[in-house]
Amino acid sequence: MPYKRSSEVFMGRTRDMLDSLRAAVGERHVAAVLWPRPVR
Amino acid sequence: MATTEPVGLRASASSGSGQPRTGSPWLSNTPHPCFPPSERPTALKESGLHPLCATEGPVLRELDGLPAFHVWRDALGLPDTVTAEETASWALGVEHNSHGSDWTVLAPYNCDSELDAITFAVDVPEEAHR
């Protein structure tokens, strides 16, 4: 499986997770906050 | 038509069934972890799942009762020395209601190896707190 579940949290590759969640529950039910990341 | 559902996706997670979702869309035959408090210990024991633990705003301190960054590294198979930048292609999907129908995907903004905590750019959804 692409994800490992820890209670209400899944951990996985961002793109795979977004694609799978959107396919499962619909795009409007999936929010994403992926940026900003620190740049060093 | 080919399905786009991931491995382990429950059929009941698909819309149009008319039935309330009773489990995670990700794990087949697994009770949902969001149980009433009075049922939680037994239900969690049966499911093998554990409650999401300490969060403080955007800081996730514990998962499964363990330091969050430790669980994160272990889940992704990353070494202890990994930095937030090196996890740029990974994220956490946080379920934020008891029906498994609303999710927020968060990318860690910072990983603190001393506190073993993960910081996000926004608060962890309130409904995910236990």
Domain boundaries, chain A: 1-40
Domain that holds residue B30: 1-49
Q: Are residue B2 and residue B56 in the same domain, yes or no?
A: no
Q: Collect all residues of chain A within an 8 Å Cβ-Cβ radius of residue B88.
A: 37
Provide the percentage of residues in chain B whose pLDDT is more than 70. 52
Q: How far is A5 from chain B (nearest CA, A)?
A: 8
Q: Which of A14-23, B12-21, B64-73 has the lowest mean pLDDT?
A: B12-21
Read off the pLDDT band of B107 (50, 70, 90). Answer: confident
Q: How far is A6 from chain B (nearest CA, A)?
A: 7
Q: How far is B41 from chain A (nearest CA, A)?
A: 13
* pTM exceeds cut of 0.90: no
User: How many domains does chain B fold into?
Assistant: 2
Q: Are residue B92 and residue B115 in the same domain, yes or no?
A: yes
Provide the percentage of residues in chain B whose pLDDT is more than 90. 0
Distance of CA B17 to the CA centre of its chain: 25
Digit-coded pLDDT (tens) for B38-91: 444 344 334 334 456 677 888 988 887 788 888 888 877 888 888 777 777 888
Q: Are residue B3 and residue B20 in the same domain, yes or no?
A: yes
Q: A-B interface: how many C-beta pairs under 8 angstroms?
A: 136
Q: Are residue B60 and residue B72 in the same domain, yes or no?
A: yes
Q: DSSP state, B101?
A: -
Reduced to 3 states (helix: H, G, I; strand: E, B; else coil), residue A17 is helix
In B38-68, which positions are buried (b, 16+ CB within 10 angstroms) versus exposed (e)? eeeeebbeebebbbbbebeebbbbbbbeebb
Query: What rounded mean pLDDT belongs to chain B?
Result: 63
Q: Are residue B73 and residue B27 in the same domain, yes or no?
A: no
Q: Collect all residues of chain B within an 8 Å Cβ-Cβ radius of residue A7.
A: 33, 49-53, 63-64, 130
Q: Are residue B75 and residue B38 in the same domain, yes or no?
A: no
Read off the pLDDT band of B36 (50, 70, 90). Answer: very low
